[in-house]
Amino acid sequence: MPKINYVRDGKVVLLGGGGKIYTDVAARFVRSERELEDIVASPYDKKIVENILSSGHRAALEFDFFIFGLEGYSRVTETQLVRKRLASYLIKSGRQELNGKREFSVVLPADEAVNSHRVFVVRDTFGGFRYAEKGEPDAIEIDPTDLLMLTELWYNAGVKKGLREENLRYLKPQATEFKAIIGMNAHALLDWFGIRCCHNAQAEIRDLAMKMLFLCKDAAPDLFATAGANCVQLGYCPENDRQCAMFKNSIYTQNEARKILKEHKRQEIHTPNGCAG
């Protein structure tokens, strides 16, 4: 029987990052005329970090790096995770020969309708399968757990037969768990949180992003004081027509914000004090 975890059961650990903040040190190098030793020895200045965040000049944030260990997430989420190119990934190998000692663990959505979905199948005349009605002769009832158990049996039988695990893994489901170490700098993390903490994000990767966010806020509160979904960071939703239902009518979309600003400027121009003539 496979080891089954569910979405939101994943574990995230902060392995490194926080403590001494280098963003303010990096920012000083750009403008200060002092000697390097004096700049490095200067006490931490929270105001510098706040100015960097408010101005949007985030290059200095790239000198603070954070490392996370994670487990209990599916390959579905892995494919979305590695789309973030400004990051480092070390993912547990699925091809290494473990001679039957590899744990067959999967992650399923916390969706009772999906997890309890059952179908009836029978062998067709061509040796394949077709849908069947309940009670039909020779019909077999199959649910998601059955499919996972069959895959595990097939995989383990292949290992015992001496087939290569790097080839057997091709038939593993996307639900297969992966484990990884991830490294991102603070600039990349703010971008990552903006997209993946959004309620439009897929549930599992949003869970991962939120857990990373809480760890970052705890380790470096000044760096991540404004971190979160894009609507949190920007004050408006850049998703426009794709804005999540939760915040419709409570947070302006980017298009709405632009329209309001444009109207405000138009009115300002046509008031007596704003008239150019």
Secondary structure (3-state) at 207: helix
Give the tokens for residue 100: 């039957």
Question: How many other C-beta atoms can be found within 10 angstroms of the C-beta atom of residue 58?
Answer: 16
DSSP letter assigned to residue 174 = T
Rounded CA separation 208/5 (Å):
14
Q: Is the Cβ–Cβ distance between 201 and 83 less than 8 Å?
A: no
CB neighbours of 268 closer than 8 A, spacing ≥ 6? 274
Contact criterion met (CB below 8 Å) for 47 and 90: no
Nearest residue to 104 via CA among 146, 153, 163, 162: 153
Helical H runs in the chain?
A: 23-31, 36-41, 46-55, 75-81, 112-115, 144-160, 165-168, 186-196, 203-219, 230-234, 254-270
Catalytic residues: 196
With 0-12 / 13-18 / 19 or more C-beta atoms within 10 angstroms meaning exposed / middle / buried, residue 274 is: exposed
* CB-CB contact of 24 with 44 (8 Å): yes
